[in-house]
Structure 1
């Protein structure tokens, strides 16, 4: 479920990707668990999106959980980012378990702005948990993502709006 009323920019960007068919060929490609998380505090997520370095859209303005009221609880969908204002729906993640450190004021990001949550998985969390358990990962130079990038990303077969 996507919440465009609460997070109009983030949800709107995600729905734009859906409507334009931009997730055709996208995949879940990163798994973060307590045994391979190289950041603090430790989180649990799977990350997916386009398998390209350059997103086809411009970044959206950051919508913090303080603004939207959407917390990073089990199954929350959120935009991945480095710096505030760099996120697009080209990269998103799904939380496994409650992840308050990813909310506004949380310590996962030094800037304490958290991530832009915009939706929630309402059916299929067993698939999310199965993807997170995959341990076949690439050798990766970036020490932050070491042991997290899947050797065989899980392709997204279809993304569509449900009326």
Structure 2
């Protein structure tokens, strides 16, 4: 569903995802595989982040207990101000389902802003799912996620582990790494999702999904 879905440089740079059984064991609460400066720091079970955008604020609650590596990585970008000034640049809408799809934002593989890629935390391991308001990581192959992410509007189980997404450029069935949810500001998410896109802009799964007017994230800060 994505042509309408996809994410990281090509997918999200082409993509999105969801995930596994609710009774799946939670992974150890450590960021040891994150590959960034917070790798040895304790990861909170829950952490809130506020994205202050030109379209309004979006407050996220990250699940460090279920997805410690991904949460630590996102917090590193926040704490090091690497998201300040980046944009939501993609709106991928699901045909025939009004209001469903995802918005993608982040560093767009900018080498000056990027931290090392992180280990993939599939939904089959974390027990999270791509339901309404889920935030997840954009990627190409598993283990390539850096600083591009997407937020889902509506339920998109095709982004969970176990689903192949050849239309997005990903055919590995590992899904996307969901790691939190929106707790305030879904109206802002849907407003961005409804924004005008450029018909011939973007490549591959992203073609026709690039926002005509990308929405700037003025700053991203912890909101605990």
- Give yes or no for TM over 0.5: yes
Question: Does the 8 Å contact 2:196/2:213 carry over to 1?
Answer: no
Q: Give the 3 Å change call, closer, same or farther, for CA 152–51 of structure 1 in structure 2.
A: farther
Question: Does the 8 Å contact 1:64/1:103 carry over to 2?
Answer: yes
Give the structure-2-normalised TM-score: 0.65
Q: How many residues align?
A: 156
TM-aligned CA deviation for residue 52 of structure 1: 4.8
Match for residue 102 of structure 1 among 150, 159, 181: 159
The aligned residue for residue 34 of structure 1 is 94
Structure 1: tracts of 5 or more residues without a match: 36-42
Give the structure-1-normalised TM-score: 0.89
> Whole-Å Cα distance in 2 between the matches of residues 146 and 136 of structure 1?
10
The aligned residue for residue 39 of structure 1 is none
The aligned residue for residue 4 of structure 1 is 64
What is the root-mean-square deviation in Å for CA atoms of aligned residues? 1.8
Q: Displaced runs of 4+ in structure 1, greater than 4 A? A: none
The aligned residue for residue 13 of structure 1 is 73
Deviation sequence 1:7-64 (CA, Å, 0-9, x none) = 01101100000111111111100000124xxxxxxx7110001255335211000000
The aligned residue for residue 40 of structure 1 is none
Q: Which has the larger radius of gyration?
A: 2
> Whole-Å Cα distance in 1 between the matches of residues 157 and 210 of structure 2?
23
TM-aligned CA deviation for residue 135 of structure 1: 1.5
